[in-house]
Copies of this chain bind each other. A is one copy, B any other.
Amino acid sequence: MTLTAPPPTEVPASPARGLVCRNCGATFGLVAEHACAQCFGPLEVDYDPERMRAVTREQIEAGPQNIWRYAGLLPVGQDPADRVSLDPGLTPLVRADRLAAELGITGGLWVKDDSANPTHSFKDRVVSLAATAARGLGYAKIAAASTGNLANSVAAHAARAGLPSYVFIPADLEPGKVVQSAVYGQTLVAVDGSYDDVNRLTSELAETDEFEDTAFVNQNVRPYYAEGSKTMGYEIAEQLGWRIPAQVVIPMASGSLLTKVDKAFRELVAAGIAEDTPWRVFGAQSAGCDPIATAFDNGWDVVKPVKSTGIAKSLNIGNPADGPYALDAIRRTGGAVGRVGDEQIVQGIRDLARTTGVFAETAGGVTVAVLRQLVEDGRLDPAQETVVLNTGEGLKTLDPLTPVVGPTHRIDPSLRSARAAGLVG
């Protein structure tokens, strides 16, 4: 419903032909399930490679200035009339020369800044896919368990479309995220517990009669939801002139975003849209919630759940659903995982803001601090082109900054006071 460019002249067909189990390979129709009926493995969208190969750079470039320009590579939303969307995406890819110079990166550094999305996080991408799929599958309501950004996005999508929504959040979220979720006038349920507790509760609620007509965006329509993250990978490649960057540093909560950026690159290569140059994906976690980092360090294939703490609340998923798949992508591409503590996270936010003018939320601070760590310990090659993802907006997580940043001077409105403060001689 946002008008930023003329609509494409023809509606491409959906390339999706069903769902496939990532564990056992069993295939299903395009249904509202996220777990395999055979082995309980996670389902993902299965595409017809022929239809994806029919998509061209020119088709994409002629599309709207948002995620729907990639409709030919997505499971739903080919027809604009079907979309339930705030039309996110095509967020800036910001050249970060000043940060690169500080870190000693000589191969080029970019920040993909998803704080520019409508509700100021990358979650608008996945919710636009989930809400569109939900309507197509006949659901009357949407819902989510969320650490905040998803809550904002689901409530805003529901408000624009006039759909009822139910959002469940841990009661101790950052005040900004609570108010932002509540202002849209939808149902907002604060739950006294962790994100993992909230997630368990919504899994139970999804089975009740009252929620039979409700799509839980990251549960029963998760296969469609997760595909929204691919658009971040598509955009990075397109904005680099249809080139895949050598290194990408990605924050990990469930691990899904990292797997989907990698998948986006693989799809662009398979479809003949981008050249097959090598890339490595790096994961970033906070020390307060580092189950994937621990599994990576120990060479495990499975991820052991942890109890999460620390300021990077949007990454605080102690039992990450896509952890094993994230590990696969990191190991297959030759990447690595870093973890950083709260002080480093705050420093990461400040470093990014000071050198690029981009104000990231704590998750972005994690990613920038991990980038620094990976350069310092030699696991990331400073001579190769690198993209770092900022997935959210600093205004949502002010609390950790309030004690450490503020005015540099305080004066009366007089030259005399300015002089006393050393601003003039």
Binding site for B on A (CB under 8 A): 1-4, 65, 86-87, 90, 92-95, 97-98, 113, 116, 118-120, 155-160, 162, 166, 169, 171, 175-176, 178-180, 182-185, 187-193, 197-198, 200-201, 204-205, 208-211, 239-240, 349-350, 353-359, 393-396, 398, 401-402, 405-415, 418, 421, 423-425
Contacts and interface: CB of A to CB of B under 8 A. Distances in A.
A4 B413 contact: no
A181 to B, nearest CB: 8
25 contacts: A2-B95, A4-B90, A86-B357, A116-B118, A119-B357, A156-B357, A159-B353, A175-B402, A176-B176, A179-B401, A179-B402, A182-B401, A182-B406, A182-B408, A183-B359, A184-B353, A187-B408, A188-B409, A190-B407, A191-B410, A197-B413, A201-B413, A205-B424, A209-B424, A393-B395
Contact of A208 (B94, B414, B424): B424
A197 B94 CA distance: 36
B411 A189 contact: yes
A357 B120 CA distance: 12
Given A205-B423, A395-B393, A398-B176, A184 B357 contact: yes
The quantity of this chain's copies bound in the complex is 2
A156 B115 CA distance: 14
Contacts of A65: 4, 65, 90
A349 B401 CA distance: 26
Contact of A116 (B116, B171, B175, B354): B116
Contacts of A157: 357
A355 B187 CA distance: 14
A40 to B, nearest CB: 22
B205 A4 contact: no
A354 B423 contact: no
B210 A423 contact: yes
A98 B396 CA distance: 27
Given A357-B157, A359-B180, A402-B179, A191 B411 contact: yes
Contacts of A407: 169, 171, 178, 182, 188-190
A185 B189 CA distance: 37
A311 to B, nearest CB: 14
B398 A175 contact: yes
A182 B178 CA distance: 24
Contacts of A120: 120, 393, 395
B394 A183 contact: yes
A418 B353 contact: no
Contact of A193 (B4, B94, B185, B412): B412
Q: Which of A182, A357, A405, A415 gathers the greatest number of chain B CB atoms within 10 Å? A: A357
Given A191-B413, A192-B413, A356-B160, A178 B87 contact: no
